[in-house]
Amino acid sequence: MLELGIGMFGDLQIDPKTGQIQSTQQRLQEIIEEIKLMDEVGLDFFGMGEHHRPDYAVASPEIILAAAATVTKNIKLGSAVSVLSSTDPVKLYQDFATVDLISGGRAEIMAGRGSFIESFPLFGYDLKDYSELFEEKLDLLLKIKKNKTINWTGKFRKSLINQEIHPRATEKGLPIWVAVGGTTSSVIRAGKLGLPVMFAIIGGAWEQFTPLFEMYKQAYEDNGHDMEKFQVGVHMHAFFGEDSKAVAEKYYPIYGAQMNRIGASRGWPPYQKSQYDFGRSPHGHLIVGDANESIDKILTVKEAFGLTRFSAHTDVGSPDHKDMMKAIEIYGTKIAPKVREATK
């Protein structure tokens, strides 16, 4: 069965005329309402991103997830992602173990290197150590998950000698996913470790990720991991409405404005309507439309990659809360049931 859920970064609304940024308090309250609805309509999981910028509401996903745990019953609650490279793995495990206990075993960690770099200077890390930091901290995090008492030595933090890590997660064990973009070494590392992977497909044609999926599966199999436990997902920008043309037209200026804000800091050319239209095509990275179009595209990507999880990133540019609630309702009541029926 394919798991269906939503990932968010906590984008704040920005007035295109005045540049005024939405109140963080308001957006946080909206996010909790949205997660509550996801649970009510039967979605399988929710992921919250970590950012340290004025245009995003959430710096600590685990706090949002702890709050969400008190108003939900079934939905899995994870990060999307926790920036492991600039985080202490001990504290990260403790925080998510706490969420796991509050939620009755529904917490997950999705570890990644993040799509922004603000956390590195903020927490005193050097970008030249970008890759080494992630490798070392992932190693420690996995050891903490497996062992209550830790003996460990690394390069970027002091050694741990017979240190007990508390609290401990529930017996379900706090699943750890790895989020990857297009880096071959990251994909192969995750496969060797036997960790579930979430591929971020956030631009271009989704088929271009085929070689990475093949590499991951090959590395997973070659290292003797149980294919019965094989898990792989995609994270794709998505938004849902009753009428395909209407939702596409309404969402374009919101999505385009966010692409331009991010692109301005990365040297990208201005975002074009032609990019958006291709993204919404059968080969593109966007799933923006009505229920039937969305069902078809999710199933196509699922079959191509052998997915066990699909994550719809629905808050890019921060659409209006009312429209977000409607998109979640459509996803849970119209899209999810038909996708599940088709993938039994």
Structure tokens at 325: 């609630």
Question: Quick one: which of 185, 74, 199, 73 has its CA closest to 138?
Answer: 185
Question: Quick one: which of 26, 31, 38, 13 has its CA closest to 311?
Answer: 38
Structure tokens at 30: 């909206």
Other CB atoms within 10 A of residue 94 CB? 17
Other CB atoms within 10 A of residue 295 CB? 20
- DSSP H helical segments within the chain, as ranges? 24-40, 61-69, 89-103, 119-122, 130-146, 184-193, 210-222, 244-266, 273-280, 291-305, 321-330, 336-342
Q: What is the pTM of this model?
A: 0.97
Q: Digits of tens for pLDDT over the chain (344 positions)?
A: 899 999 999 999 999 899 999 999 999 999 999 999 999 999 999 999 999 999 999 999 999 999 999 999 999 999 999 999 999 999 999 999 999 999 999 999 999 998 899 999 999 999 999 999 999 999 999 999 999 999 999 999 999 999 999 999 999 889 999 999 988 999 999 999 999 999 999 999 999 999 999 999 999 999 999 999 999 999 999 999 999 999 999 999 999 999 999 999 899 999 999 999 999 999 999 999 999 999 999 999 999 999 999 999 999 999 999 999 999 999 999 999 999 999 98
69-91 burial: b if 16+ Cβ within 10 Å, else e: beebeebbbbbbbbbbbbbbbbe
Q: Work out whether the CA dihedral 154, 156, 161, 165 comes out positive or negative.
A: negative
Phi, psi at residue 18, to the nearest 5°? Answer: -100, -20
Q: Domains in the chain, please, with CATH?
A: 3-342 (3.20.20.30)
Distance CA 333, CA 328 (A): 8
With residue 45 as reference, give the H or E element that holds it: strand 45-48
